[in-house]
Chains A and B, each alone.
Chain A
Amino acid sequence: METLIIHLLNSLLYASVLFLIAGGLSLIYGVMRIVNLAHGNIYAVGAYTTAWAVGRIEGGAPTIALYAILPIGAVAAAALGAVLEPTLLRPLYKRPEEYQLLITFGLLLVLEDVMRFIWGAYPLSASALFEGMGSFSIGESIYPAYNLAVIIVGGMAAAALWAFVYRTKFGVILRATSQNMRMASALGVNVNQVYVQAFTLGCFMAGLGGAIIVPQQGAVLGMGVDALILAFVVVVIGGLGSLEGALLGALMVGVVREFGITFFPEIELAVLYLMAAIVLLIRPAGLLGRA
């Protein structure tokens, strides 16, 4: 029983971070119809920034200050998004989609090298935060308390995002722009402003994902590309452009991965792609996607 609970918590942990990444990717696509291939490295920027900031003040500052500084990665990612959208993406909206794919892919490579240039080839770690919370007991086993905190933050982020999109005026404008950009524009919505806000919000989520997971996993080169591929698995399952889909997809990937590792270790890597392939065959637009 206690092993089952731990497996469940592990699934939720994985799903929380995946949702933050894939949710941001899906939000950006839903509003702007841009597949942002650089999204994984926005997540990595969040992770690196938090790890760097924690490393800077570690030792000299009280632990509470370390936790307070944790969201800096999300802020940095959002700021990066707010700069990138108007400068790099906006000039390309009138061009065919291939241009957007090319420029976001280029951005992915550039960001990877920029991170290596700034922070070097060795992993950065912020494990003081992970260790600071200790572990709690579940029966005879113990479980890291920090993981539980990540799950709670992930859940809260999902709830806040839902409330934001469905319960605020900005959410209405966002959804209207998403459904019909020309009509929204004709009705007086400043589409450029909506786009930069949506892109910034999407980047903030990815950066938050990176910032909260870095104490547990560390920041390594290449983490962004891995995250991007998993985020695509999630949105393929849930439906590109759908936030509910991203949540459902992340939960399914979290549970199936845990199940795969436990019972089919030899095909751990394959189970997620198998699941995505099956969903594509049955519902090509994803489980909650709009066809």
Chain B
Amino acid sequence: MAEDTSRRDFLKSLGVTVGGAAITAAAGVVSGPAKAEAQQPKGTIPDKPFKVGHMTFFTGAAAVLGEPMYKGHILAAEEINAQGGLLGKRKIETIKADEAAGTDANVKEMRRMKLSENIELFTGVTSSGNTPALGPVAEELKLMTIFVDGCTDFLWDKAVPNPHYIFRITNMQSADGVTAAVGTAMTWPQVRKIAHIHPDYSYGRNAFDHFTVAINKLVPGTKVVSEGWPKLGTTDFTSHITKAISAKPDLLVSSVWGGDYVAMYKQALRYDLFKKMKFTSMIAFGVAPHAIGKDHPQGVIAGIHSNYYFTYPTSNRWPLNDTFVKKYYDRWKEYPNFQSEGAYVAMHMFTMAVERANKLTGGWPDDDAIISQLEGLSFSGPAGYIHIRPDNHQGYKDAVTGFSINTSDYDFQILDPKRMITIPIRNITAPPGWPKGEPTSTYTWIEKTWPKVA
């Protein structure tokens, strides 16, 4: 592309849309996970229970993401069991494990689940620190695995470049930084001085790197005027806030999440931070929705890990989402977050692959038959269309972010369903075959192929 591409043209070429109704179609067959196939399974199916290992955070600061993930998983398992189980015969039994035990202990637990408990499917995982350790072990154990999160690019770039048994359902981490940069460039192209506050671990570093590489292309002339790297789990941000304000930036960018973020925004309010600068976050609204109060600033870009927010796709436009939100609310008396949706979709996706494989092979399909159904699968979930890329086993769906707003419908603040920013994921991640890069393939792809807009 020529150097003098305008921002408007380039954003258009990325397929970015704003509004309440945009869902871009993915290629392939589309069928809904909520609709159980009425046909009888072929062949004889054993009625042995189907054991699933589900690992997520039940303790520690990350339990705010782990708890909704587990709830999403259980909801899906209960729905499937209400139909008689997988292929109408095999009831799902969930064995849960606490991810907070630490990476080494998690690896041991995965082995134990497979070798002693004889699980046939492993799901869950929140942390990017854990998937690169668990992935190779799952391959070694020949254990069918669908990671819900743990979204680091590193998993497919380096740890398991040619996966066979493992899949992952949420969007890749690099999408967060890039989506936040695209949202910022569309909304506030005038910003120049940028302050950052990110948690000091792989996710925060990744968010900073990808935001920066993308914003340099989309809004040339910006510079980083302040950086803060609080420890993950910090709830005292007074010093970081003071530092950011004293640098007098036009924009603050942050990937602080969960309970940390709730503490951060409440403290920032008392320093008038949001009156002094624009604010863009990758994952502010990724926490359970009701944790964000109505005192949260409106009109800021409040990311959701590029994945899912329960008010979008808007009601009556996408029945799958209406049904999911209602079922989840009825079961748990709260609204789902992106982890709930991911865990829920993971189980239904697996069920769908088992049913398809059964039609081809009869009886209970072996793992390879299920894997060949999962590879390249395109279907719809509550968030929209999902496509499982056959080369890296990664689930891709439109990257989304949005703007915070108070409405009378909920007693907490929500993302404005009428102003959601949607970007087809293939336009902001490295295409299949792109050489592995540092720090990520998507980083080098953006650096080398995106034009600097005029």
Contact = CB atoms under 8 A, between A and B. Distances in A.
Interface of A: 3, 6-7, 10, 13-14, 112-113, 116, 120-123, 125, 127, 130-131, 134-135, 141-144, 146-147, 213, 216-218, 220-223, 226, 257-258, 261-262, 265-266, 268-269
A268 B235 CA distance: 15
A121 B67 contact: yes
A226 B245 CA distance: 26
A36 B230 CA distance: 27
Interface string B293-318: 10100000000000000000000000
B228 A261 contact: yes
Contact of B271 (A7, A116, A143, A223): A143
20 contacts: A6-B242, A10-B239, A10-B242, A14-B236, A116-B58, A116-B59, A121-B59, A122-B259, A122-B288, A123-B64, A127-B293, A130-B270, A144-B271, A147-B238, A147-B270, A216-B263, A220-B61, A222-B233, A226-B231, A261-B240
Contact of A221 (B60, B228, B245): B60
Contact of B227 (A10, A143, A265): A265
Contact of A218 (B233, B263, B272): B263
Nearest to B276: A141
Contacts of B246: 3, 6
Interface of B: 58-61, 63-64, 66-67, 200, 226-231, 233-236, 238-240, 242-243, 245-246, 258-260, 262-263, 266-267, 269-272, 288, 291, 293, 295
B239 A125 contact: no
Contact of A269 (B231, B238, B272): B231
A149 B266 CA distance: 17
Given A142-B271, A221-B259, 17 more contacts: A3-B242, A10-B238, A112-B59, A123-B258, A123-B259, A123-B262, A125-B293, A141-B271, A144-B267, A147-B270, A216-B266, A216-B267, A218-B235, A265-B226, A265-B227, A268-B200, A269-B229
A216 B243 CA distance: 18
A14 B245 CA distance: 19
A143 B263 CA distance: 16
Contact of A121 (B64, B234, B272): B64
Contacts of A265: 226-229, 243
Cβ-closest 7 pairs across A and B: A144-B270, A121-B63, A123-B259, A220-B259, A217-B235, A222-B60, A121-B67
B270 A221 contact: no
A213 B238 CA distance: 12
B335 to A, nearest CB: 12
B13 to A, nearest CB: 36
A13 B288 CA distance: 30
Nearest to A261: B239
A257 B239 contact: yes
B288 A217 contact: no
Nearest to B246: A3
A178 B454 CA distance: 73
B363 to A, nearest CB: 41
A122 B270 contact: no
A243 B64 CA distance: 36
Contacts of A6: 242, 246
A262 B239 contact: yes
A112 B63 CA distance: 12
Given A131-B295, A218-B263, A220-B259, A116 B63 contact: yes
Given A13-B238, A261-B239, A217 B263 contact: yes
Nearest to B231: A269
Contacts of A226: 231, 233-234
Residue of B64, B229, B259, B295 most packed against chain A (CB within 10 A): B259
Contacts of A220: 61, 64, 233, 235, 258-260, 263
A217 B271 CA distance: 14
A65 B263 CA distance: 23
B262 A131 contact: no
A221 B245 CA distance: 29
B59 A221 contact: yes
Contacts of B231: 226, 268-269
